[in-house]
Amino acid sequence: MTNALEIKGLSKSFGKIKAVQNLNLSVLPGQVYGILGPNGSGKTTTLGMILDVVSPNEGSFSWFDNMPNVDARKKIGAILETPCFLPYLTAVQNLEIVAHIKKAGKNQIENVLKQVGLLERRNDKFKTYSLGMKQRLSIAAALLSNPPVLILDEPTNGLDPQGIAEVRELISEIAAQGKTIILASHLLDEVQKVCSHFCVLKEGVKIHEGIVSDTLEEINLVEINSNNNQLLNIKLEEFEGLDSIKPNGNTLQLQLKEGFSAKEVNEFCFEHGIVLKKLLTHTNSLEKEFLKILKDHD
């Protein structure tokens, strides 16, 4: 299979509002792909179109190398809205209804409940669940037919910190099984922690696309100190990889030249008889990159 999902020139308007404009996107099998953007950027509309819930005005999309949409939809588990189950029924009873609708069979119910950490609460009524547990039950429902693709729209929206951590950990565990996950979020930390690839939407337009690990790579900024920072400062002037140096409290902040890293700094200091008490490498963050991308497209 070449692509799990291929989007070509997809557009959708609601009256004068251009929700999505000429979107092109490819998602490969096994990727955890984050669609990132502020509220109102077109994330949910995009997910609605690729799930045949919203009709596009222009463009096309295809699943699994042009598999018919009716067949492809059976291979996709999706959560687009707030968890919606019958409050007076248990987790098992609610999933039995979902299994009947999906024609998935009931034999996987206990397996998916175990996978999302709700097996011990399987006979408790839905109304007794916390928000995080309700979201995990939604993910269990999406996993009932063991789909190769999972689509999640703002999966941690409205959750407390513990619920956010639980759902993120669950998404990472599902991704480790080799499933393709497409996740829409306005939370930078969420995309940074669970996604392998991402794009940024702004007012319905894709303004950036990239690999998360590339965005978080080292930025040649190193913070160090020793028992004698004055001597350290003098010696570092001889280091060929130094671009600039400046004091930062009780540390020295080094900007290194391209091709040099903290490893070379440490080796240089050791060779000159200086033992470093602190060696901190700074990396880029998705937040910095995101704000830069938005600013560049103002």
Token reading at 261: 């890293």
Structural domains in the chain plus CATH codes: 5-215 (3.40.50.300), 218-286 (3.30.70)
Token reading at 167: 């759902």
Q: How confident is the model at residue 217 (pLDDT cuts 50, 70, 90)?
A: low
Distance, C-alpha 170 to centroid of its chain: 12
Please determine, for residue 81, whether its predicted confidence score (pLDDT) is greater than 80: no
Please determine, for residue 251, whether its predicted confidence score (pLDDT) is greater than 70: yes
pLDDT in tens, 5-52: 999 999 999 999 999 999 999 999 999 999 998 888 999 999 999 999
Q: How confident is the model at residue 106 (pLDDT cuts 50, 70, 90)?
A: confident
pTM for the full predicted model: 0.77
Q: How many CA atoms lie within 13 A of 199 on its CB side?
A: 20
For helices 262-271 and 229-236, the axis angle rounded to 10 degrees is 110
pLDDT of residue 14: 93
C-alpha distance across the termini of the chain, in Å: 38
- Map tokens 């009932």 to a residue: 144
Token reading at 85: 């189950």
What average pLDDT does this structure show over 73-77?
88
pLDDT in tens, 162-206: 888 888 899 999 999 999 999 998 888 888 888 999 999 999 999
Count H helices and E strands in the chain, helices first.
Answer: 11, 13
What rounded mean pLDDT belongs to the chain?
89
Better-predicted residue by pLDDT, 108 or 293: 108
pLDDT in tens, 144-171: 988 999 999 988 888 888 888 888 899 9
